Chain A
Amino acid sequence: MATATPHSPTGAPVDPPKLDYTPQAIPLPEPTPAEDRTRKHYLNHDTSLLGWIFTVDHKRIGLMYLVGVSLFFVAGAIAVGLVRTNLITPTGAILELDQYNKAFTAHGTIMLFLFLIPVIPGVLGNYLVPLMIGAKDMAFPKLNLASFYVWAFGALFFMYQLLVGGLDTGWTLYPPYSTKYSHTNVLYAGLGIFITGFSSILTGINIIATIHKMRCPGMTWGRLPLFVWAMYATSVIQLLGTPVLAVTVVMTAVEKLFGVGIFDPKLGGDPLLFQHMFWFYSHPAVYIMILPGMGVINEVLTCFSRKNIFGYAAVAWSSVGIAVVGFLVWGHHMFLAGQGYYLAMVFAFLTMLVAVPSAIKVFNWTATLYGGVISYQAPMIFAIGFIVLFTIGGLTGLFLGTMGTDIHLHDTYFVIAHFHYTMVGGMMFAWQAGLHFWWPKMTGRMYSDFWSRLAAIVMLVGFALTFLPQFVVGYMGMPRRYPNYPDEYQLYNVMSTAAAYIQGIGYAMPVFYLTASLFFGKRAGNNPYKATGLEWMVPSPPDAHNFPATPTVYFGPYEYGVPDGLSIVDKMNGHTNGVHTNGAAKQGVTSGS
């Protein structure tokens, strides 16, 4: 291979174009406008309904997830609209007490289980992992379709339970309240969560097997886009964590069904054991909700600052580090729940440790930006928003992980603000960044530059104004999950609610301009952002089988700013990412301005 002349994926020898970046493989020729209008791609090669319902194409399945998660996001947003509106007055503006409990539980469960966990793995993971590694599809396409339907069924079943009887336990489902005292649909709602969890496991298996077995020639582990690494780490967590949640839910359901059970203190059982098992999943699950987002950020930042990622190996391994250490810190949710003192100290220490890999990433991102040629298109605004907001979220996590301060802050709005900074400021912004970044690839159309930037700014401002006051009011002592509060907290709550409406407007905007782009958008061409990944080497939207022939990869994923273009032959052995550099790679690391 070392002496081969470069060939295009169709086999013809190529004359390398001069580019100021080095794609991972030889790009396919751009279709002419006439060809572009008539060409068959994954969207239009079979437009029958059955062609969609029984599709095993990972790209179509990704789009089906996109529709699903978007709908559930709207449902979750409506629920929180009720919650925030209720909090305008100190005595509760619109809801009865039990309605309030049901509303915040619906918000939490829908957003976590039906939106944040599936959103990036389901949509972008499905869509991009095979494309990024040069494969025709996932390793198990039918399983992939099955996991979509399992998810959709579980999610709809869960929504149905929320509508007919509701759930008022909070997303944490703690017994003995959930098993003994709650009169809502704990049993069936738990079943719904179990089913969606099963889908999450199947998706995880599929992604890991795909990454291990389906990489194209030349796509070594060191050349994988960091999004793929992040999806790998996420899938590992899904694989190891979700089954534990599943069995915990089963035991809770059994207790609900039999009327006696394993967590029942009357029999000598221990509700704290439930909390251990629940958080053994749910702390790692917060990383299921952030790692894919971090993966997206790597792709967007490098592209819009025209620079190689700073410290590829550190970023890649920190994902794995998060996956591993993330399993050792669950006890920080139970500092005040009666857990042993020394155990709590160990957990507090390990919690400090888990912040390290996240911090490594943040430092690497800022170092990547340093000296780059930055352009502020919508994906980049979202990505920068992500870095700022996630950093605040992560740092406040340290306040909570310190036992002494957590005694004051536990179960207050400070915790709410903390995890919204990580999950909304983090994952939601990363999701928007990713959606905007790859939208032209998925649909073949560009969206409005102006409106997308405006939406990003509206979301950012709305977000910050919603949750900053919650840090303050939480620090002052306002507990979470209460519908009433003392009068002095009203100002903060009104601010928060008002800004939540602004955020709502921000989230609604993409619906309009993205939809409009499908009809009026400019054609995107193969590679509108001049990015380097394999997914950009093919026409947009891609063909049904992604690549006309299996591509061969010659370079690392982020060779931006290499002025002498694609002289592949001399650089064939150029390992990249600053490890063993020669030629292109070395310049990729440092160039930019």
Chain B
Amino acid sequence: MVGPVAHHFNNMAQQQASVRLGMWLFLVTEVLFFGGAFCAYTVYRIWFPKDFEAGSAALNVGIASVNTFLLLASSLTITLAIRSCYESDRKGLMRNLLLTTVLGTLFLGLKAREYHIDYQEGLVPGVFGYLTPHAKEAYEKERAVNPTLPETPENAFNENLKYALSHSKVYKGKPGEDYEPYRVQLFFMFYYSMTGLHVLHMVVGLGLLVWQMVLTATGFFDYSARYVYIETMSLYWHFVDMVWMFLLPLLYLAGPHTATQAMEQFQMAIGLGGGH
């Protein structure tokens, strides 16, 4: 069995300091990675504030709110895990790691549900998009009024979005006046790429959590001596949380929403309450 200090280090202090520095440096790169995306977002948000508002209004802020609470709670539990590790409390460590994993998994489950709902509403620009039946109906009605419109709409996303927003209880903007549906596609490209990257980071984080649980459970892991690994893992986990703390206002809160709407959206998403 390998000792706690790897062969190329002189002592524990040097090893721990290196590991911590390594993780901080990695987080610097992560800041720049997401920073690039945030920067592009900022440029377009300044150019097209109204379209971003409209895009945001079409998102499911109910799920996002619950997810925020889940992630914040997981930040607490992973910090408690460091504490347990520090106190050589193996059971506590296991429990807190497990709790963190469960909270993270719940987040991903809800996020998957949210993507599913977005897809059902047809809020997917580009080649994966399709025209939803509701939007089709609405389009037919519009065409009855204005027969110069082509038989099939030029862009399915635009029609789906118009339909979705016209049924929003909170957002009152009108297409063409308050927002241009085609530009909202830009917003949605940001939405999918940024949340997608965040999800990928969550998956990696969950992998690390499971790995540390296995090490703890098999007893191979001298937790009191190597708690620096739990600590650096938690740094990463906190970072991923932080990214979400930026995504939430930038994506979900850029448009108008109300608490009641959020509540309804969430209940509907998990199959409680009426729906249409």
Q: Does A117 sit at the interface, judged by CB under 8 A?
A: no
Interchain CB contact under 8 A, A258 and B189: yes
Residues of A close to B47: CB separation below 8 A: 268
* Min CB–CB distance B168 → chain A (angstroms): 22
Contact flags (1/0) for A240-263 with B, using CB distance below 8 Å? 111110111011001100111110
Interchain CB contact under 8 A, A244 and B33: yes
Interchain CB contact under 8 A, A243 and B25: no
Residues of A close to B32: CB separation below 8 A: 239-241, 243-244
* Min CB–CB distance B88 → chain A (angstroms): 26
Residues of A close to B40: CB separation below 8 A: 251, 262, 273, 277
Interchain CB contact under 8 A, A239 and B29: yes
Q: Is the interface of B mostly helix, strand, loop or mixed?
A: helix
Interchain CB contact under 8 A, A201 and B192: no
Interchain CB contact under 8 A, B197 and A250: yes
Docked pose: A260 CA to B155 CA in angstroms: 12
Docked pose: A240 CA to B22 CA in angstroms: 14
Interchain CB contact under 8 A, A214 and B18: yes
Interchain CB contact under 8 A, A254 and B192: yes
Q: Does A270 sit at the interface, judged by CB under 8 A?
A: yes
* Min CB–CB distance B130 → chain A (angstroms): 13
Residues of B close to A206: CB separation below 8 A: 22
Q: Does B37 sit at the interface, judged by CB under 8 A?
A: yes
Residues of B close to A270: CB separation below 8 A: 43
Residues of B close to A269: CB separation below 8 A: 44, 186
Residues of B close to A255: CB separation below 8 A: 189
Q: Does A267 sit at the interface, judged by CB under 8 A?
A: yes
Q: Does A140 sit at the interface, judged by CB under 8 A?
A: yes
Interchain CB contact under 8 A, B189 and A262: yes
Smallest Cβ-Cβ distance to A140: which chain B residue: B22
Interchain CB contact under 8 A, A208 and B43: no
Which of A137, A143, A239, A262 makes the CB contact (< 8 A) with B190? Answer: A262
Q: Does A205 sit at the interface, judged by CB under 8 A?
A: yes
Interchain CB contact under 8 A, B28 and A240: yes
With A251-B193, A273-B40 as given contacts, are A212 and B21 in contact (CB-CB < 8 Å)? yes
* Min CB–CB distance A485 → chain B (angstroms): 38
Interchain CB contact under 8 A, A209 and B18: yes
Interchain CB contact under 8 A, A248 and B14: no
| Chain A, 203-243, CB within 8 A of any chain B CB | 204-206, 208-209, 212-214, 239-243
Docked pose: A138 CA to B15 CA in angstroms: 11
Interchain CB contact under 8 A, B34 and A247: yes
* Min CB–CB distance B154 → chain A (angstroms): 12
Interchain CB contact under 8 A, A261 and B21: no
Interchain CB contact under 8 A, A550 and B189: no
Docked pose: A243 CA to B21 CA in angstroms: 18
Contact flags (1/0) for A7-36 with B, using CB distance below 8 Å? 000000000000000000000000000000
Interchain CB contact under 8 A, B125 and A260: yes
Interchain CB contact under 8 A, A254 and B28: no
Residues of A close to B44: CB separation below 8 A: 262, 268-269
Docked pose: A268 CA to B8 CA in angstroms: 54
Q: Does A141 sit at the interface, judged by CB under 8 A?
A: yes
Smallest Cβ-Cβ distance to B47: which chain A residue: A268
Interchain CB contact under 8 A, A260 and B126: yes
Docked pose: A143 CA to B190 CA in angstroms: 32
Residues of B close to A241: CB separation below 8 A: 32
* Min CB–CB distance B16 → chain A (angstroms): 10
Smallest Cβ-Cβ distance to A213: which chain B residue: B18
* Min CB–CB distance B21 → chain A (angstroms): 5
Interchain CB contact under 8 A, B26 and A205: yes
Q: Does A430 sit at the interface, judged by CB under 8 A?
A: no
19 contacts between A and B (CB under 8 A): A139-B22, A205-B22, A205-B25, A205-B29, A209-B22, A213-B17, A239-B28, A243-B32, A244-B33, A250-B197, A258-B125, A258-B126, A261-B189, A262-B190, A266-B182, A268-B47, A277-B40, A280-B36, A545-B8
Q: Which 6 A-B pairs have the closest CB atoms?
A: A258-B126, A243-B33, A247-B36, A137-B8, A260-B126, A243-B32
7 other A-B residue contacts (CB within 8 Å) besides A205-B22, A247-B37: A141-B8, A213-B21, A250-B193, A251-B40, A258-B127, A262-B44, A269-B186
